[in-house]
Chains A and B, each alone.
Chain A
Amino acid sequence: MKDFGFTVVKQRTIDYDQFDGRLLNEIIEKEPSFKVCLSCGGCTATCSAANLVSFNVRRISLLLRRGETTELESEIKKCMLCGKCMLVCPRGINLRNVIMLIKKNVQKHKTENS
């Protein structure tokens, strides 16, 4: 097939009946500043890790709200916690805490489930 520089995204469904909202609720409870994100993408633009690997900080919010925990877990591992995102954020969101909370709670749910 000829490469036109586009990719075709595979069809997929998110079943909201299967939605696991634990993680999202825990994050919002412990770090309420996360709620005010306006998805401007400043964090992604400045990210040190995104310079080295395909990593999008802004997508974390999306993955969290969709409850896609498996993908979230593998994405979040790429963060180097340098703190640039937090400094450029126009809403002053404490992103480093969001990331640490996700790491902690994903681990917690794993041990709970097993």
Chain B
Amino acid sequence: MEKTPFIWPFTIGLIFICSFLVIIIGIWISGLSRIDKSRISHSIFTRKSLIAIRETFMESLLHRKIFRKNPVLGYMHMSLAFGWFLLIVVGHIEACVHYKSMSVPAYKAIFYRYFVIEQASTTSGIVLAAVMDLLLVFILSGVMLAYYKRFNSRRFGMKKTTQLKTGDRIALISLWLIFPLRFLAEGVSAGIHHNGSIISQPVGNLLAAVLPVQSLEMPLWWAYSCSLTSFFLAMPVSRYMHITVEVVLIFLRNYGIRVQKRIDGFSRLQVFSCSRCGICLDSCQMTHAAIKDTQSVYVLKHIRNKNLTDEKLFNCLLCGRCQPDCPVGLELNNLRITQRIESTKEYNSSYEYLKHGKVAVSPQTEVIYFAGCMTHLTPAIIKSLKEIFAVADVKYWFMDEDKTACCGRPLMQVGQYEAAQKLIDHNRERILSSGAKKLVVSCPICYKVFKEDYAIPGISVQHHSEYLLELMADKRLPVNKMPLRVIYHDPCELGRGSGIYHQPRLLLDEYSELISIKNEKEKALCCGGSLANIKIQMNERNQIRDKAMEEYLSYKPDVLATACPLCKKTFSKGHNLPVHDIAEIVYMAIRQQKNDAKEEASTEKEVRKVEFWD
């Protein structure tokens, strides 16, 4: 032991990081709400834990999601994570087998080749030594790729990469050094003691031939131990916290815990689980307007460093494009909204005037139509829907034809949940008193809030695409397929926000020729008009819109269809391509069919007249 003081830096580092993790994760879990805590205690001994173990294996070790993004990037992460994990596990087994004991101290396994200077003689010993050599080479291949990626990230399918902090840099350099140093240290020991295996022995022989291995052995093992220590010490202030914290996150997520509308242990856990890989940067459309410092990865970094400004927090469209790409599966939008609530909680309006104002009594009806503020700026949509309702003979009450409060969603998007609740209560009362069974909404922004936050018993909330599809299925609407090449633009709040991808497509398929495009459904682009961003300037919005339009125009469509009045309004400006809501397209088809029928009837009459005169 006196000759091997190099084990101490490693041991101290290991004790430090383990106790740090136990304390901080303990604080986070104790900071959860009572419901969340009972979720943990009820789920911990169920199948959910097994599913979490499987997910940990697939995502934290094999990195399946990164493989899908780019195979080389996936291999790099897998070789480091899975390789290192196996190196620790197999290393311990090797030490246990050698010392014929079930409990071997960590340093004896980590510095095995230093302590065990005789070559393995048993079959299991030979096999394990060979496996360890192969594992180390496997990890080194990943480290080599990591070196290369630093200078050429484009080769790995990533256009952009994140900026590093000092803590990150120390941890990164340590991580880069750990495995090459271990490789050299084992090689040098093999050169002296001939205790190497299939790879380390030839390397050792080579090193012994060209280098003074005797004097290099101790410094190399020291360097290996110190690189491990500096990695452990830098971990709490670096992005590599995700290695361990992500595992806890996967378990809690499988127990049904989600980010709430407040900052708590779970939201902190999510913030620390961000690996700052920067995959979210590539999908962010803000870069099209040269806004490069407000993306999810940076916001999470600022939350962690406690230096988040409103300028960055509110400069996001909340389109949610980054979320499906996140390899850790973080709730990026909800985390941002949680911060927005915190930032604006001191000045929520009370909207007293809604209580005192005279609101017309709701008429008794089966169906309510709510257009929403945005649809009132696109009167063609309202007109089309009115005509369609007339054709289908729908008896409805147009709730916000004249004077109605906003649905509350725009307030929620900037974090004013308390204020939004006042509007929700007001509208809910009006809806309830009408005795309706169905609420049809032609704006996805309103749709999301009616569906998720109004909680009106006995009322089914439907987006107009769902309702029109239902009318069509009931044969209350005539079908007419127009020879129009149509591209469908998924509105963020309807698609990623509410999971409605198919209904508008089914409808468009019946009334036009729908073409599928590269960026659709979960990958759909944002129009740039989102109300969630209160910092972006109009010219920047236009840049985002133009870039999306550029892609749509490359398919040479006749019409760009959408299901959101705000998207329609945004896309209508600056380009010649006609932009229509699905309601307009359906109405266009019905009207065309009617006109055709009229023409046919008049020509038939003419024919009959001719016959008569003959």
Binding site for B on A (CB under 8 A): 30, 33, 46, 48-49, 51-53, 77-84, 87-88, 92, 94, 96-97, 100, 103-104, 106-107
**In the docked arrangement, what's the CA distance between A107 and B410, Å?**
21
Taking the nearest CB of chain B, how far is it from the CB of A63, in angstroms?
Answer: 17
**Stretch in B221-229, B318-326, B371-379, B552-560 touching the partner:** B371-379
Contact A79 B357 (CB under 8 A): no
A residues less than 8 Å from B101 (CB atoms): none
Q: Residues 367-404 of chain B: 1 if any A CB is under 8 Å from the residue's CB, otherwise 0?
A: 00000011011000000000000000000000000111
Q: Which of B346, B531, B538 contacts A83 (CB 8 A)?
A: B531
Known pairs A48-B406, A94-B534, A94-B535; list 15 more (Cβ under 8 Å): A30-B311, A52-B357, A79-B349, A80-B411, A81-B411, A82-B373, A82-B410, A84-B374, A84-B376, A87-B377, A92-B539, A94-B536, A96-B410, A100-B534, A103-B347
B28 within 8 A of A: no
Contact B403 A51 (CB under 8 A): yes
**In the docked arrangement, what's the CA distance between A49 and B404, Å?**
8
Contact A83 B373 (CB under 8 A): yes
Q: With A51-B403, A104-B310 as given contacts, are A94 and B538 in contact (CB-CB < 8 Å)?
A: yes
Q: Which of B357, B406, B537 contacts A33 (CB 8 A)?
A: B537
B residues less than 8 Å from A94 (CB atoms): 534-538
B351 within 8 A of A: yes
**In the docked arrangement, what's the CA distance between A106 and B344, Å?**
12
Contact B414 A78 (CB under 8 A): no
Question: What are 9 A-B interface contacts by the 8 Å CB criterion?
Answer: A48-B404, A52-B353, A52-B403, A77-B349, A78-B349, A80-B351, A82-B373, A83-B410, A96-B534
Taking the nearest CB of chain B, how far is it from the CB of A42, in angstroms?
Answer: 11
Q: Which of B314, B344, B357, B423 contacts A80 (CB 8 A)?
A: B423
B267 within 8 A of A: no
**In the docked arrangement, what's the CA distance between A100 and B535, Å?**
10
B21 within 8 A of A: no
Taking the nearest CB of chain A, how far is it from the CB of B116, in angstroms?
Answer: 65
Binding site for A on B (CB under 8 A): 310-311, 314, 344, 346-347, 349-351, 353-354, 357, 373-374, 376-377, 402-406, 410-411, 414, 416, 423, 531, 534-539, 566, 569
What residue of chain B has the Cβ atom nearest to residue A76's Cβ? B349
**In the docked arrangement, what's the CA distance between A70 and B584, Å?**
46
Residue from the set A33, A52, A81, A106 with the largest chain B CB neighbour count within 10 Å: A81
Contact B349 A104 (CB under 8 A): no
**In the docked arrangement, what's the CA distance between A106 and B476, Å?**
55
B residues less than 8 Å from A82 (CB atoms): 373-374, 406, 410, 531
Contact B405 A48 (CB under 8 A): yes
Contact A104 B344 (CB under 8 A): yes
Contact B531 A96 (CB under 8 A): yes
What residue of chain A has the Cβ atom nearest to residue B378's Cβ? A87
**In the docked arrangement, what's the CA distance between A96 and B314, Å?**
11
Contact A80 B538 (CB under 8 A): no
Contact B351 A78 (CB under 8 A): yes
Contact B406 A46 (CB under 8 A): no
**In the docked arrangement, what's the CA distance between A35 and B371, Å?**
33
Q: Which of B374, B410, B535 contacts A81 (CB 8 A)?
A: B410
A residues less than 8 Å from B411 (CB atoms): 80-81
A residues less than 8 Å from B346 (CB atoms): 107
A residues less than 8 Å from B311 (CB atoms): 30
B residues less than 8 Å from A107 (CB atoms): 346-347
What residue of chain A has the Cβ atom nearest to residue B569's Cβ? A87
Taking the nearest CB of chain A, how far is it from the CB of B326, in angstroms?
Answer: 28
What residue of chain B has the Cβ atom nearest to residue A91's Cβ? B538
**In the docked arrangement, what's the CA distance between A92 and B545, Å?**
15
Q: State the 5 A-B residue pairs at the shortest beta-carbon distance, nearest first.
A: A92-B538, A80-B406, A82-B373, A53-B353, A82-B406
**In the docked arrangement, what's the CA distance between A82 and B412, Å?**
11
Residue from the set B350, B373, B376 with the largest chain A CB neighbour count within 10 Å: B373
A residues less than 8 Å from B538 (CB atoms): 33, 92, 94
B residues less than 8 Å from A81 (CB atoms): 406, 410-411, 414, 416
B residues less than 8 Å from A77 (CB atoms): 349-351
Taking the nearest CB of chain A, how far is it from the CB of B419, in angstroms?
Answer: 8
Taking the nearest CB of chain A, how far is it from the CB of B406, in angstroms?
Answer: 4
**In the docked arrangement, what's the CA distance between A48 and B405, Å?**
7
